[in-house]
Structure 1
Amino acid sequence: MPARSIVTARQQRLGAELRKLRERAGLTAREAAQASGIAESKISMTEAGRVGVSAERVRHLADQYACDDTGLVEALVGMAAERGRGWWEDCRGKVPAGYLNVAELEHHAAELRTFQTVHMPGLLQTEEQMRGIFASSVPLLSEEQREARVRYRLRRQEVLGEVAYEAVIHEAALRIRAADSKVARSQLLHVLEQSERPQVTVRVVPFDVDGFAGISAPLVYASGPVPQLDTVLVDTKHGGAYLDAEAQLNRYRAMLRTIEKVALGVVESRNFIHHLLQRM
């Protein structure tokens, strides 16, 4: 099987999880190759996500690594068995490659939780809000680039009907105007409408809340089929950073618990947004 020319974040994650199993077993790649009867180069390429791996081979490797966590093994088998192109692949070359990894992460998540400090969550943005954000991008985007990003983000929003989604939004993000007051008002109304959906929860952290020091980087916490396969996506100036080490996951779980403690309740949050609308 030829090596992949493009490796997605999810393919890298599957390989990384297989590497973790090997390392927990105390085996080098060479020792794993000898024990499993698989070429060392194939072990390395698989762990890098450069080649695919069958469900049967995942089970074989898990057995060689003495992994008795059935839930984790079956989740990895499910990842290995995934075939076909997601809709986001049609956007390759039209939007930044990192965008595609975001859509893939959302598509496979069991649950999505986000905390946003400055921008409205992408899954809750109106089309006009998106255009306002992309119009101020640095460097400036062409009209074709902006429209490609808008179409991509609108398509991403279809996941809201398929997965539980909780957005905690800081008051700053609710007040910042990506365009003008009309767009800002329409955006808040849209958030209220979306918050009525059964699988969508919206909560607000107001400026005057006590006991909250703030968090600089917006984040998305995507739950996997088992906790070990959870992923944190943190926005940085240079793109998204995907975190999945156990210590990192525990840190962001604790961080989200802190945020949820200080956020207003669901009803209070809706009332807060209604109050902002009345003052516009």
Structure 2
Amino acid sequence: MPASTNPTLRQRRLGTELRRLREHAGLTSSAAAELIGVKQAQISSIESGRYAVSADRVRTFARAYQCGDEKLIDALAEMTGGRTRGWWDEYREHLPVGLIDLAELEHYATALRVALVIHIPALLQTTDHARALFRGVFPPLQQYEVEHRLTHRMKRQGILHREEPTPYTATIHEAALRMGYGGRDVAVAQLRHILDMSELPHVTVQVVPFGKEGFHGTGQGVDYVAGAVRKLDTVQLDAHHGCEFLDGEAQLGKYRAVIDHMEASALDPEDSRDLIRRIARDL
């Protein structure tokens, strides 16, 4: 199979997990290559995501590394089938690579949990709200850059509307709902859109109200992306320099706890809808 000079996030993650299996088995890349019957350079290329690997080869690696986690092995084997181009690939020449990786990550997610304090979750944003945000980016974006980011964001929302939609839980602080980006009409329409989305059976929206005692959230947006098995979960953080992706066991545990805390601090879905309605009337 051909090598890739620009492996996707999914390809890199598959390589990372194969490396972790090898290291857990106490094998160097040279020892693993000799055991499996390939060149050491091929092991390195596979583990960096630059060299495609088949499902059968993944199972060969797992046997050699004495991995007995069948659910993990099946999930890794399934990841080898994700090398066809997705809709996000058309944006590779126009957007930062982190945004491309995020769309791919969301596409394959089995569930999504997001928590934000000062922004509306991207997958719940209206076109007008998102456009107002992109026009306020510093340094300023060119108009064509705004449009590329806007259409990309709207296409990402497709995972909530496909035949088998992704389960989605959004925990939003009241501060984000009162920001009023784009002016009153845009802000009210955005709140009404959140209310509409919250009625979907696979979408849960919870609001953390002002004055909630014991709330110690983070100003940084957190997306917890569930994989086919917990070991394949990923955390995506919003940062000034772009998207940041974390998949270490300790990191995943930390951010699961962060989101658990924010969800526990929030109102239940019905009370959250009541608060959103009151905020819309106040604007």
Shorter-chain TM-score category?
over 0.9
Partner of 1:72: 72
Q: Is the 8 A contact 2:118 2:219 kept in 1?
A: no
Per-residue CA deviations over 1:35-72 (Å, capped at 9, x if unaligned) read 11111000000000011111111000000000000000
Partner of 2:28: 28
| 1:120-269 → structure 2 map (5 Å cutoff) | 120-161=120-161, 162-269=165-272
Distance, in Å, in 2 between the alignment partners of 1:225 and 1:148 is 30
Q: What amino acid does structure 2 have at the position aligned with 1:30?
A: S
Q: Percent identity?
A: 45
| 1:31-42 → structure 2 map (5 Å cutoff) | 31-42=31-42
Q: What amino acid does structure 2 have at the position aligned with 1:64?
A: A
Once the two structures are overlaid, the 10-residue window that deviates more, 253-262 or 192-201, is 253-262
Distance, in Å, in 1 between the alignment partners of 2:137 and 2:191 is 22
SS at match of 1:85: coil
Q: What amino acid does structure 1 have at the position aligned with 2:211?
A: D
Distance, in Å, in 1 between the alignment partners of 2:83 and 2:51 is 13
Q: What amino acid does structure 1 have at the position aligned with 2:180?
A: R
SS at match of 2:270: helix
Distance, in Å, in 2 between the alignment partners of 1:135 and 1:216 is 21
Per-residue CA deviations over 1:241-263 (Å, capped at 9, x if unaligned) read 11111111111111111111111
Unaligned ranges ≥5, structure 2: none
Partner of 1:116: 116
Shift of 1:200: 0.6
Q: What amino acid does structure 1 have at the position aligned with 2:95?
A: V
Q: Which runs of 4+ in 1 moved over 6 A?
A: none
Shift of 1:185: 0.6
Shift of 1:111: 0.2
- In the superposition, the TM-score normalised over structure 1's length comes to 0.98
Distance, in Å, in 2 between the alignment partners of 1:240 and 1:144 is 21
Shift of 1:94: 2.0
Shift of 1:3: 2.4
Partner of 1:87: 87
Once the two structures are overlaid, the 10-residue window that deviates more, 60-69 or 210-219, is 210-219
Q: What amino acid does structure 2 have at the position aligned with 1:143?
A: Q
SS at match of 1:169: strand
- Equivalent residues, number: 280
Partner of 2:50: 50
CA RMSD, Structure 1 to Structure 2 (Å): 1.0
SS at match of 1:211: coil
Shift of 1:176: 0.8
Q: What amino acid does structure 1 have at the position aligned with 2:11?
A: Q
Q: What amino acid does structure 1 have at the position aligned with 2:24?
A: R
Shift of 1:118: 1.2
